[in-house]
Structure 1
Amino acid sequence: MSEHVLITGGAGFIGTRLSARFASDGHAVTVLDALIPQVHGEDPETTSPLLRSLDGVAEVIVGTVTSKEDLRRALRDATIVIHLAAETGTGQSMYEIDRYVDANVGGTAKLLDILTNEEHSVRRVVIASSRSIYGEGAYETTDGRRVYPEHRSDADMAAGDFEVHVPGEGELRLIPTDETALVHPSSVYGITKQMQESLIMTVAPTIGVEPVSVRYQNVYGPGQSLKNPYTGILSIFSTLIRQGKDINIFEDGEESRDFVYIDDVVEATYLAATAPAAAGGIFNVGSGVATSVNDVVAALFAAYGTEVPTRISGNYRLGDIRHNVADTSALREILGFTPAVAFEDGVKRFAEWVLTEPVEADGYERSLKEMAERKLLK
């Protein structure tokens, strides 16, 4: 059956790829995007390849989810909504609190308010949630019990102790975090993603709309912004390498994340939007593999065939987690999908694309200064 898909935030890294995926299967696609300069530059028509990639793929409405008028225009005839629109910087969220809550929580509330009180044709809403809602994920004690450590303290990290701890327990072992895990975000961004998901999963069933949540891990790949300092370390480190600048590795470099390639994210989201079995479900979207920052640096050096000086500084950011790796069993067992791109292969594809892009100034150093001034970077 042909659908009419609305993708909020659809002119971004994930949204443009997802738009192309739906269009290739004959579905109509509408994109609502505010085209913020942090992502698209000051003149998106000329500075945003992502926006240009939507030509002939989707109807683009320039607008914001914080405007009911814009949302009403975009929702016209939509049968599926994929709600990607959000401010996405974990560190930035700790000092631009109002903006993050307004866009992420307020925008979701306005979307649901329209669906609840006005006529529409939407039958399913997919919310792009995040691994950040878990805070520190799942660990196992020496006697095999599952625990969820609280956020790390400033005092411990200042003393060079970056590991997580549970009072009365010894050494903890990281295990994959599944969808039943404790939700206790450690950043404003994580709190807003938790609220987005909770709003969608609670309200949608009461109005006859199927809710689905996809909890993205650390998404990367070609098309990712190389200028936005809140995009992720693969882009940040790639730019530093190409500029010949030193890389400052925070903490001890052994902190880890679950990096998932863009093609796998798009396919998982497509299934979440279209598969009957997905209705009402919550799905981790990740690779299921934890990769340390030190391993990321080594993989990038290998992919680019060059190295720059690195320094393990012991710097740390308040609100950051130590480790996270997703349990992707639900994605496999319910939707029949297993992410296919290994990190080593994905980094090579990413680096090949990066080398075709111009080396541009980024805002990384400015972002660090902003955090340090607010005592969030130590």
Structure 2
Amino acid sequence: MSDHVLITGGAGFIGTRLARRFVDAGHTVTVLDALIPQVHGDHPEITSPLVRSLDGVATLVEGTVTSTDDLRSTLTGATIVVHLAAETGTGQSMYEIDRYTEANIGGTAKLLDVLANEPHDVRRIVVASSRSIYGEGAYLTPSGERVYPGHRADADMAAGDFEVHIAGEGALSVIPTDETAKLHPSSVYGITKQVQESLIMTVAPTVGIEPVALRYQNVYGPGQSLKNPYTGILSIFSNLIRQGKEINIFEDGLESRDFVYIDDVVEATFLAATMPDAAGGVFNVGSGVATTVNEVVAALFAAFGTEVPTRVSGNYRLGDIRHNIADTTRLREILGYAPAVSFRNGVARFVEWVLTEPIEGDSYQRSLDEMSSRNLLK
């Protein structure tokens, strides 16, 4: 059966590839996107390859999920909604609180309000949630008890202690976090994603729509923004390497993330939108492998075939987590999918693409200055 798919935020890194995946499978796609300059530049039709990649693939509507009229017009005829629209970036969310809340929570509320109060054909909605809703995620105590530590203390990190702790316990060992874990985000961004997911999973079934939540880990690959300094260290470090500038490694470089390649994310999202068994499910979408920041730097140096000076500075950002690894058992057992691209191979593909792109300016330093001025970067 051919579906009409609405992808909110669909002109972005994930959405443009996902639109192509749906069209290749015989579906029709409409994209609703605000085309913000932070991602697409001031003239998206010229400056954004992502926008241009939608030509002949999807109907692109420039608009916003914070507008009921824009939602109403793009929902017409839609049978599947993939809700990607969101402001992203842990650091920026800590001082642009109203903007993140309005877009991520307010936009989701407006989407559901239209679906709850007006006729529609939507039968499934997939929401892009985030690993950030777990906060520090799952750990084991020395006695083997599974625990979910709270946020790290500023005083500990200022003293150079970046690990997570629980009073009365010894050293904790990070383990993969599954979908039943405690939700306790440590940033405004994480809070908005938790509320966004909860709204979808609670309201959708009451209006006859099957909800699915995908908790994306750190998504990377060709096509991700090299302009936006809030979307990941691979882009940030790549720009610094190409400019021959020093890389400042925060904390001690041993903090880790679960990096998942864009093609794996797109396929998991497509399956979540189309497979009957996905209905009502919550799924981690990650590689299940922890990669430290030091390992990221080494992989980029290898892929670029060059190195720049590095400095492990001990700087840290309030709101950042120490580790997170996804347990992808549910993704594999219910959707029958396991991510296929290793970090080493994914970085090689990413760098190959980066070298075809123009070198971006120093927006990263501006973002650090903004955080420093608000006492969020120490």
Q: Corresponding residue for 2:89?
A: 89
TM-score after normalising by structure 2: 1.00
Question: Contact between 1:260 and 1:287, CA under 8 Å: does it hold in 2?
Answer: yes
Matched positions, count: 378
Q: Corresponding residue for 2:206?
A: 206
Q: Corresponding residue for 2:218?
A: 218
Query: Within 5 A, what are the aligned runs for 1:232-247?
Result: 232-247=232-247
Percent identity among equivalent residues?
A: 79
**One-letter amino acid matched to 1:200:** I
Cα deviation for residue 361 of structure 1 reads 1.0
**One-letter amino acid matched to 2:180:** T
Q: Corresponding residue for 1:376?
A: 376
**One-letter amino acid matched to 1:6:** L
Question: Contact between 1:214 and 1:269, CA under 8 Å: does it hold in 2?
Answer: yes
Kindly provide the CA deviation profile for residues 43-69 of structure 1, in whole angstroms up to 9, marking residues without a partner as x.
001000000000000000000000000
Cα deviation for residue 188 of structure 1 reads 0.1
Matched, 1:177 2:151: no
TM-score after normalising by structure 1: 1.00
Cα deviation for residue 143 of structure 1 reads 1.1
Kindly provide the CA deviation profile for residues 96-140 of structure 1, in whole angstroms up to 9, marking residues without a partner as x.
000000000000000000000000000000000000000000000
Q: Corresponding residue for 2:356?
A: 356
| Corresponding residue SS for 2:127 | strand
1:263 and 1:116 map into 2 onto residues whose CA distance is 33
Q: Corresponding residue for 1:144?
A: 144
| Corresponding residue SS for 2:367 | helix
**One-letter amino acid matched to 2:305:** G
**One-letter amino acid matched to 1:79:** T
1:12 and 1:83 map into 2 onto residues whose CA distance is 12
Query: Within 5 A, what are the aligned runs for 1:1-378?
Result: 1-378=1-378
1:162 and 1:25 map into 2 onto residues whose CA distance is 46
Question: Contact between 1:228 and 1:362, CA under 8 Å: does it hold in 2?
Answer: no
1:23 and 1:245 map into 2 onto residues whose CA distance is 41
Cα deviation for residue 231 of structure 1 reads 1.0
Kindly provide the CA deviation profile for residues 21-48 of structure 1, in whole angstroms up to 9, marking residues without a partner as x.
0011110000000000000000001000
2:28 and 2:361 map into 1 onto residues whose CA distance is 36
Cα deviation for residue 195 of structure 1 reads 0.3
**One-letter amino acid matched to 1:58:** A
Unaligned runs of 5+ in 2: none
Kindly provide the CA deviation profile for residues 187-224 of structure 1, in whole angstroms up to 9, marking residues without a partner as x.
00000000000000000111110000000000000001
Cα deviation for residue 362 of structure 1 reads 4.0
Cα deviation for residue 290 of structure 1 reads 0.2
Kindly provide the CA deviation profile for residues 297-351 of structure 1, in whole angstroms up to 9, marking residues without a partner as x.
0000000000000000000000000000000000000000000000000000000
1:178 and 1:205 map into 2 onto residues whose CA distance is 23
**One-letter amino acid matched to 1:175:** I
Moved runs in structure 1, 4+ residues, more than 6 A? none
2:312 and 2:345 map into 1 onto residues whose CA distance is 26
1:74 and 1:161 map into 2 onto residues whose CA distance is 49
